[in-house]
Structure 1
């Protein structure tokens, strides 16, 4: 059975690694979002990875070492001492959320540090999270099921 694994890449190599993995026949997914980058003389819309230095690969457990043929692949992401496995449903949630309009339409009311919440929209909709930190401009959430920390900026 093929599982989705998380490959850690060199910084800024996510798209190159995904392209090369596809070329050698490894199914992979590098979720991308559009950001507006500001330079001194102009603004430009740029496609950037949703997860810095992460690419999802789907392959048999016995074929996991084949990703190391690709320059830019560093290692697998591990969770509890084993390679992290991402469920198909979670990959599908990311894909559907990125396809939905108004990704940035998120509202938050009276949340305290330590609260358990369920994200209702965006790339991580229907994910449970624990509020780790609240500042003047962002929330830091722990997504235990994905083994990551999410920082959400708000106005």
Structure 2
């Protein structure tokens, strides 16, 4: 007589990719750099909960998400979507929006951005890199190099700094305000100096 035992272990489902920007055209509008921006440093591992609450409140925000793939023991690959810059969410709005954001119980610190135009340019470049489909990784310490622009391919027009790591070319796209960047690996580098 064979007996089947039902597993009672709870399995946490992996959610599909959710929007990381609200509204979708946030960085493309003419008013993107006109309204104030804030860099919100969230409590540990609360970025998604925070931007979900912002979306429910109708507050404009961006938190770039990148895929994180893990091979499971049975050979399957699990993909989760993690913030590119752990702990950071970029919020656009007035002081009333900032005050509403503080009520979410997800915020550790809130910094006003003095140069909104520069931040919007940086975020546009980050978004272009993330949406290219190429592997993008967070870059904690930026290495010095010459600024360049990519001439062709899915990243055509993207500006950044090229570095060579372990024999491969990488483009560093920087967010000046938080002194962090993202690294995109390039197979063929077709760049022009700026």
Q: TM-score range by the shorter chain?
A: 0.5 to 0.7
Structure 2: which 5+ residue stretches go unaligned? 1-33, 137-142, 186-194
Residue-pair matches, total = 138
Distance 1:30 1:150, change over 3 A: closer
Larger Rg computed on CA atoms: 2
Distance in 2 between residues matched to 1:153 and 1:99, nearest whole Å: 11
| 1:27 corresponds to 2:60 | yes
Cα pair 1:143 1:150 within 8 Å, conserved: yes
What is the TM-score with the length of structure 1 in the denominator?
0.65
Asked if 1:2 corresponds to 2:35, the answer is yes
Equivalent runs, 1:1-155 vs 2, <5 Å: 1-40=34-73, 42-61=76-95, 63-77=97-111, 83-85=112-114, 86-87=116-117, 88-100=120-132, 102-104=133-135, 114-118=144-148, 120=150, 125-127=158-160, 129=161, 143=174, 145-150=176-181, 152=183
What is the TM-score normalised by the length of structure 2? 0.54
**Structure 1 residues without counterparts, runs of 5 or longer:** 78-82, 106-112
**What is the aligned partner in structure 1 of residue 7 from structure 2?**
none
Query: In the TM superposition, what is the alpha-carbon distance from 1:93 to its structure 2 partner?
Result: 2.7
Q: Any idea what the Cα deviations from partners look like across 1:94-150, whole Å, max 9, x if unmatched?
A: 3333222x4239xxxxxxx6433336486xx313x597xx875998x7947344134
More strand by share: 1
